[in-house]
Copies of this chain bind each other. A is one copy, B any other.
């Protein structure tokens, strides 16, 4: 798992050892500052003050605000994408959907992702860093779910995986942070059913039966 986290670009100077519990306190301060003020107005000073450390403790860990924020968001986000192999396509999908919901509704994270994504429209380097350290590691876990289904014979091998993987996280994000309507347990069940009927291995041609014109 740690291979998915951003590699610090600056090696700690000399023999300095980074205390993990201090990194954890700083990470909590970063998330709280992000939630309260957003990425644009977040300052290294405020994070240091909130964590009760000097700014040097921050710069020993991350060379810049962007690296700090992306690493902290990655440390929160990537482990939340780990779901067990249940042996069933529908149960794997449902577990993954619940994990996405836990991520998006994480109390420290609710407003953080929309802020970061809005900022990323204007800041391509931030968009790239979020994709590399948050999006891609999370997506690998979704791809593994599909691989297991193909291996079991449950999942069509000819799927456009870009489409299917988008359809797992996208509706929950759109609903919670775009439309601002709740995701109920029934909704998750019905979404899992819809995804199962989309990806299930079925006799060729059967899935487009109703469509006469294309």
- Residue on B with the closest CB to A92? B213
Q: Is the CB–CB distance between A120 and B211 below 8 Å?
A: no
- Judged by DSSP, the binding face of A is helix
Q: Which of A140-171 contact B (CB under 8 A)?
A: 149, 153-155, 159-160, 162-164, 166-167, 169-171
**A59 an interface residue at 8 Å Cβ cutoff?**
no
**A121 an interface residue at 8 Å Cβ cutoff?**
yes
Q: Is the CB–CB distance between A166 and B177 below 8 Å?
A: no
Q: Is the CB–CB distance between B167 and A213 below 8 Å?
A: no
**A111 an interface residue at 8 Å Cβ cutoff?**
yes
On chain B, the residues within 8 Å of A117 by CB distance are 114, 118, 177-178
- A209 with B201: in contact, given A174-B166, A174-B169, A178-B173 (CB under 8 Å)? yes
Q: Is the CB–CB distance between B166 and A213 below 8 Å?
A: no
On chain B, the residues within 8 Å of A122 by CB distance are 111
Binding site for B on A (CB under 8 A): 38, 86-91, 110-111, 114-115, 117-118, 120-122, 124, 127-128, 130-131, 135, 149, 153-155, 159-160, 162-164, 166-167, 169-171, 173-175, 177-181, 186-187, 190-191, 193-198, 200-202, 206-214
What are 17 A-B interface contacts by the 8 Å CB criterion?
A87-B213, A88-B213, A90-B213, A118-B118, A131-B180, A160-B190, A162-B187, A163-B171, A164-B194, A170-B174, A170-B175, A193-B208, A197-B198, A197-B207, A200-B207, A201-B209, A206-B206
Lowest 10 A-B CB distances belong to which pairs?
Answer: A88-B213, A197-B207, A170-B174, A160-B190, A170-B170, A154-B210, A114-B118, A127-B180, A200-B210, A166-B171
